Amino acid sequence: MSTLSAVEVTERLKSLPGWRLEGKEIVRTFEFPDFAAAMQFVNAVAEQAESAGHHPDIDVRYNKVKLALSSHDAGGLTERDMRMAEKLKELA
């Protein structure tokens, strides 16, 4: 799978509120009322990731969950990352 150009990434991020480019990743932090709600979200993310075969980096800090997406095997961002961000957007 080929990586997306900077222009393509910028264009795609317009339809992904809250996601931002950091280096070769797109990241978003989600905030929840408490730790239990954050963990429910993480479990839902895990189910989506397993079914898609594409796994985000996940950082949990009490009620905040930071997700980072990149196609490490392709060396940057691909269509696969954008599709996963779309799916994850629906979970929050």
45 domain residue, yes or no: yes
The total of structural domains in the chain comes to 1
| Residue 84: both structure tokens together | 């996963």
Q: What is the pLDDT of residue 46?
A: 96
Residue 49, domain extent: 6-91
Residue 60 lies in a domain: yes
- pTM above threshold 0.85: yes
pLDDT at 68: 97
Residue 76 φ/ψ, nearest 5 degrees: 165, -155
Two structure tokens written together for 49: 């990731």
pLDDT at 83: 94
What is residue 72's predicted lDDT score, i.e. its pLDDT? 87
- Residue 28 counted as domain residue: yes
Phi, psi of 84 (to 5 degrees): -65, -40
**pLDDT at site 92:** 78
27 within some domain = yes
Domain contains 1: no
Q: What is the CATH number of the domain that holds 13?
A: 3.30.1360.20
Q: Average pLDDT across each block of 10 residues of the chain; the chain has 92 residues. List them in order.
A: 92 96 96 98 96 95 98 91 92 82
CB atoms under 10 Å from CB of 36, counted, come to 10
**Total number of residues shown for the chain:** 92
**Looking at the domain assignment, is residue 22 inside a domain?**
yes
- Tally of helices (H runs) and strands (E runs) in the chain: 3, 4
Give the integer Cα–Cα distance in Å for 32 and 38: 6
State how far the Cα of 26 lies from the Cα of 16, in Å rounded to an integer.
10
